[in-house]
Amino acid sequence: AFVVLDNCIKCKYTDCVEVCPVDCFYEGPNFLVIHPDECIDCALCEPECPAEAILSEDEVPEGQQQFIQLNADLAEVWPNITERKDPLPDAEEWNGVPNKVAQLER
Ligand code: SF4
Ligand code: F3S
């Protein structure tokens, strides 16, 4: 499956959800996740993200391994999102800030 990583937090551009053929994105207050059992590994979402926050699970860097489980867990509790919406207001300021996981709202 593909995984949403740290740099989505506080940005949430949502371009990714428009292209997913199986609508497997789920939305929290300041982050999105992919349901690992629904993702068909089509890779369409990866280049759509302006924050480059999506990678295949076998490409997830060492420091972000926790996001594999976070996507699986939060996809079970957050609502589905299938249409693009405005990014979070400070998305440009937060894009590229490292280690935003402390800012993650559930
Ligand atoms: Fe959806 Fe394809 Fe991205 Fe998986 S890889 S989340 S199926 S767009
Ligand atoms: Fe997040 Fe990128 Fe989608 S910032 S909402 S993974 S387009």
Please report, for the chain, the start and end positions of each structural domain, with discontinuous segments joined by +: 2-85
Predicted pLDDT of residue 13: 98
Predicted pLDDT of residue 97: 98
Please give the biggest Cα pair distance in the chain: 33
| 5-to-8, 86 alpha-carbon distances in Å | 6, 19
Ligand 2 nearest atom to the CA of residue 95, by list position: 4
Predicted pLDDT of residue 31: 98
Query: Which one of the ligands is nearest to 3 CA?
Result: 1
CATH level 3 topology of 2-85: Alpha-Beta Plaits (3.30.70)
* pLDDT grade for 41, boundaries at 50, 70 and 90: very high
H or E element that contains 3: strand 2-4
* pLDDT grade for 83, boundaries at 50, 70 and 90: very high
Cα 86 to ligand 1 centre (Å): 20
Q: Which residues contact 61 (CB under 8 A, 6 or more apart)?
A: none
Q: pLDDT tens-digit profile of 12-35?
A: 999 999 999 999 999 999 999 999
Cβ atoms of residues 106 and 28 within 8 Å: yes
Ligand 2 nearest atom to the CA of residue 11, by list position: 4
